[in-house]
Chain A
Amino acid sequence: MATQHSRSAARLMMAPAVILLLGWMLVPLIMTLMFSFKKYLPLRGGDLGWIGFDNYVRFVTSSAFWPSVVATLAIVGGVLAITVVFGVLLALLLNQPMWGQGIVRILVIAPFFVMPTVSALVWKNMFMDPVNGLFAHLWKFFGAAPIEWLSQASLQSIVMIVSWQWLPFATLILLTAIQSLDSEQLEAAEMDGAPPLKRFSYIILPHLGRAITVVVLIQTIFLLAVFAEIFVTTGGAFGTRTLTYLIYQRVLESQNVGLGSAGGVYAIILANIVAIFLMRAVGKNLDA
């Protein structure tokens, strides 16, 4: 009786969130799907009628398509690798006894509070500029020729900027996870003479598995949508045109809403392929 009651109450309580998100997903999705089958050119009069799968064919057959998928995966993969590896190391370090731990933590999490636009502008102009940037001064100081970061190492530069923004997030979650680790277990292992590397790979890393999956999942959602960092720094040039950026070019620069919408549908498909892999992993972990 009570369960029956609370079940229907539960459903009722879930309703607002579910209905809102369903609307937020379905309305734009249906409109995007509709536009994607149309010749829709705002600068040439708007809706010019149905054209079947033309937009879909044109979008994938464009020479920009596959490179953009590769660039997307490279940025997501690169940032994930850097933030997880350095996040674990940093979390281990921050978990050690030291003076001023609170202040160090404040310093480390600060980049997470910086707007993507601001961080992209600051990195691009004040650090990566090949003439006036700080890196250029540093390189010159050591007698080396300054690197043209955003053209010669464009993808790496963007991965670096985005990693800087997301490293704090990964570090924090991983740090919380490490702190929850049973310290007696670690001490016992230390007593038994297990070397640090063994302790790390047999006790700490398995314990962090769940936290790492969470970091990967949350970051992937945000990283697939990375836009401001590219818009501000390279504008999609030098092989940094991601799928999101390609859609931006189609919709806003070329003002071809139909073609861009077809691209949007592809992006949703790609995101879901990535998501299925991720959620399998996380789904398992959510039960544990």
Chain B
Amino acid sequence: MSFKTSLHAATAVTLVMAGGAFAETLTIATVNNGDMIRMQGLTDDFTAKTGHEVEWVTLEENVLRQRVTTDIAAKGGSFDIMTIGMYETPIWAKNGWLVSLDDLPAEYDADDILPAMRGGLSYDGTMYAAPFYGESSMIMYRTDLMEKAGLEMPASPTWDFVADAARKMTDKDNEIYGICLRGKAGWGENMAFLTATSNAFGARWFDESWTAQFDQPAWKETLNFYINLMNDAGPPGASGNGFNENLSLFQQGKCGMWIDATVAASFVTNPKDSTVADKVGFALAPNNGLGKNSNWLWAWALAIPAGTQKEAAAKEFIQWATSKEYIELVAANEGWANVPPGARTSLYENPNYKDIPFAKMTLESILSADPNNPTVDPVPYVGVQFAAIPEFAGIASQVGQEFSAALAGQQSVDEALAKAQALTVDEMEAAGY
């Protein structure tokens, strides 16, 4: 330990002298997800290499969003680096609020970043946020329960197959629920899942003239299908379940299938936390034969607010945290299964990573999502499980509440859709569309 520390210190001295940079203290806002918490634990490596200190502001996702959005919109300058997603990046970049990341040095190898991720984090061809990890969504299922139900999961199942399998796997007396899906209201919770699902059913948020489409049959079909399935084969209280709740249910062995973020794969296969670690299989998110799968595309990325005085140091941090070396550092400390996935092509070419059971399906899922053509019918917006316009988060949060109430049985699907349509029209009008 002490040898390691002094070694680090020695490197630090050399680097600081070589770069001639001043040691800064960076304030970084991030979300309390496992990969970010791991990054906090490894901060010493960054400090040793560059001399810069890091102060972490780790917040729950909803609180984080509210904090960073207020701060950047009011130009508060509280943070030197913010953790944001594919939704915020193009909108903020358009407002000139972010520092361009196109000038990172050659050894960073920006071309190695998966094109889908780089595209989603760019505005006008310039990258404004670097992906810390990327994700799509896929089916995670219990191989033992699937076998017990006498079924075999195809590599790319249809929704009908999934629904049938879910109903067959369900054994409510033993608290086994065939399928766990998000129901908790929120644009990043149930609406991410439902929007991605609706793509497979041929639905869309807006037509080409920005008219809301919740009064169209495709949405009704999506919602009816989802609610019927959840009523038959979902866990109790599904309308309160988001990513974390479902993860915990799956780890406890209470879900037959779970369609959610690909990053969850490393949590459900980790024997330390998961009681079903060795019984998990993976498949592409379901489709309806219309040419679109129900999977989304997302990245948690690091961005620098324009106007920070610590831009140079902030860039050094982003280079460190999203580099190939960082992936190796995590692999050395925590094993290859726990490295931040979905950001770099080289990771999926790495022979060490090939053995990871979910690596192939994660990559395939990411590659099959197309934010520029997310739907069956053409749309004016970019984004698979969101529409990258400033109004979307507010609208989708409220629509999510209506859909969540429908799932809880407090209103019918028709009522929920009528309210969703009315409030979307109203908000879009207010925004001047």
Contacts and interface: CB of A to CB of B under 8 A. Distances in A.
Direct A/B contact, Cβ within 8 angstroms = yes
Interface of A: 41-46, 58, 62-64, 129-132, 136, 145-146, 148, 150-152, 231, 234-239, 241, 249-250, 252-256, 259
Given A42-B74, A43-B390, A44-B390, A235 B427 contact: no
B423 A238 contact: no
B408 A238 contact: yes
Contacts of A238: 239, 401, 404-405, 408, 410
A228 B62 CA distance: 12
SS class, residues of chain B in contact with chain A: helix
Contacts, number: 107
B410 A239 contact: yes
B249 interface: yes
A64 B419 CA distance: 10
Contact of B393 (A58, A64, A146, A254): A254
B254 A131 contact: yes
A46 B73 CA distance: 8
Contacts of B144: none
A130 B69 contact: no
Contacts of A136: 236
B401 A151 contact: no
A119 to B, nearest CB: 16
A40 to B, nearest CB: 10
B393 A253 contact: yes
Interface of B: 62, 66, 69-70, 73-74, 91, 95, 175, 184-187, 235-237, 239-240, 245, 248-249, 252, 254, 390-391, 393-395, 397-398, 400-401, 404-405, 408-410, 419, 422-423, 426-427, 430-431
Nearest to B88: A43
A64 B422 CA distance: 11
Given A236-B401, A238-B410, A255-B390, A151 B69 contact: no
Nearest to B394: A254
Nearest to B391: A254
Contacts of B431: 41, 44
Contact of B73 (A43, A63, A146, A237): A43
Nearest to A121: B60
A64 B398 contact: yes
Given A151-B240, A236-B401, A255 B62 contact: no
B427 A254 contact: yes
Contact of B405 (A44, A58, A237, A256): A237
A129 B239 CA distance: 11
A241 B394 CA distance: 14
A242 to B, nearest CB: 13
A62 B91 contact: no
Nearest to B430: A58
A155 to B, nearest CB: 11
Contacts of B175: 131
A237 to B, nearest CB: 4
A235 B185 contact: yes
Contact of B240 (A45, A148, A252): A148
9 contacts: A129-B245, A132-B248, A132-B252, A151-B410, A235-B397, A237-B401, A237-B404, A238-B401, A238-B410
A151 B95 contact: no
Nearest to A145: B236
Contacts of B409: 152
B73 A42 contact: yes
Contact of B70 (A132, A146, A252): A252
A250 B423 CA distance: 12
